[in-house]
A and B are shown apart, each in its own frame.
Chain A
Amino acid sequence: MFYREAGQFYTTYAKDQGIFQLKQDKYGLWGLLFFAFLVVPIGLYLLVQGGVMAGTTKDYLYNSILLLLLVNCMAAMGLNILTGYCGQISLGTAAFMGVGAFTAYKFSTGMNYRVQKEDNAGELVSTLVPILPQIDNPIALILLAGAVTAIVGVLFGLPSLRIKGFYLAVATLAAQFFLVWCFSRVEWLYDYTSSSTIQIPLLKVLSFIETGTITFGMPDGSTKAVSVSGFLVAGSETLKVPDGAKTIVSASGFILTDFSKALSSPDASRAVTGETFRIYPVPETKYIFSLAIVVVFAFIMKNLVRGRIGRAWMAIRDMDIAAQLIGIRPLATKLLAFAVSSFFCGVAGAMLLIFYLGALEGAEAFNINESFSILFMVIIGGLGSITGSFLGAAFITLTPIILINVQPAISDVFQDKALVEHIQFMVFGALIILFLIMEPLGLSRLWQIAKEKLRQWPFPY
Chain B
Amino acid sequence: MSATERQFGDVLLKVDNITLRFGGVKAITDVSFEIREKQIFAIIGPNGAGKTSMLNVINGFYHPQEGTITYKGNPRQQMKPHEAAETGIARTFQNVALFRGMSTLDNVMTGRLLKMSGPALRYYHQKLANLPVINYLTYPAMWFGDLILDSLYWGPYQREEVKHRKAAEEVIDFLEIQSIRRTPVGRLPYGLQKRVELGRALAMEPDLLLLDEPMAGMNLEEKEDMCRFIIDLNHEFGTTMALIEHDMGVVMDISDQVVVLNYGRKIADGTPNEVQADQDVIDAYLGVAHEADLEEK
- Residues of A at the B interface (CB closer than 8 Å) are 12-14, 16-17, 300, 303-304, 306-309, 311-312, 314-315, 317-319, 321-330, 384
Contacts and interface: CB of A to CB of B under 8 A. Distances in A.
Contact of A311 (B109, B151, B157, B204): B109
B82 A329 contact: yes
B46 interface: no
13 contacts: A14-B158, A14-B161, A17-B161, A303-B151, A307-B150, A309-B150, A311-B102, A314-B110, A324-B81, A324-B82, A325-B59, A325-B81, A326-B204
Nearest to A321: B97
Contacts of A319: 97-100
Contacts of B264: none
B278 interface: no
A304 B149 CA distance: 9
B120 to A, nearest CB: 13
A303 B81 contact: no
B245 to A, nearest CB: 19
Nearest to B59: A325
Given A303-B150, A307-B157, A17 B162 contact: yes
Contacts of B102: 311, 314-315, 318
Interface in B143-186: 147, 150-153, 157-158, 161-162, 165-166, 169
Nearest to B117: A308
A303 B150 CA distance: 7
Interface in B214-246: none
Given A303-B150, A304-B151, A325 B91 contact: yes
Contact of A13 (B91, B93, B99, B165): B165
Interface residues of B, number: 38
Nearest to B153: A303
B209 to A, nearest CB: 12
Contacts of A308: 109, 113, 116, 150, 161
A304 B146 CA distance: 11
A327 B207 CA distance: 14
A317 B110 CA distance: 13
B80 interface: yes
B144 to A, nearest CB: 11
Contacts of A325: 59, 61, 81-82, 84-85, 90-91
Interface string B184-200: 00000000000000001
A327 B116 contact: no
Contacts of B97: 319, 321-322
Among A16, A307, A330, A384: residue with most chain B CB under 10 A: A307
A77 to B, nearest CB: 13
B153 A307 contact: yes
Contacts of B158: 14, 17
B37 interface: no
B114 A326 contact: yes
Among A311, A312, A326, A384: residue with most chain B CB under 10 A: A326
Given A12-B162, A327-B113, 8 more contacts: A308-B109, A312-B110, A319-B98, A322-B97, A325-B59, A326-B90, A328-B113, A329-B82
Contacts of B98: 318-319, 322
A314 B116 CA distance: 16
A321 B82 CA distance: 10
B101 A318 contact: yes
B272 interface: no
A189 to B, nearest CB: 28
A319 B82 CA distance: 14
A315 B91 contact: no
A306 B105 CA distance: 12
A12 B159 CA distance: 12
A273 B263 CA distance: 98
A249 B147 CA distance: 41
Contacts of A16: 165
Nearest to A322: B97
B106 interface: yes
A416 B104 CA distance: 57
Given A309-B150, A326-B204, A327-B86, A314 B101 contact: yes
A324 B113 contact: no
Contact of B152 (A300, A309, A311, A326): A300
B45 interface: no
A327 B113 CA distance: 8
Contacts of A318: 98-102
A319 B100 CA distance: 8
B50 interface: no
A398 B294 CA distance: 82
Contacts of B111: 326
Contacts of A300: 151-152
Contacts of A12: 162
A311 B100 contact: no
B169 to A, nearest CB: 8
Contacts of A314: 99, 101-102, 106, 110
A323 B100 CA distance: 12
A303 B106 contact: no
Contacts of B200: 326
Contact of B110 (A303, A326, A329, A384): A326
B62 to A, nearest CB: 12
Contacts of B80: 324
B172 to A, nearest CB: 12
A14 B150 CA distance: 15
Nearest to A84: B101
Contacts of B153: 303, 306-307
A337 to B, nearest CB: 12
Contacts of B59: 325
Contacts of B109: 308, 311
B162 A315 contact: no
A192 B113 CA distance: 50
A384 B102 CA distance: 11
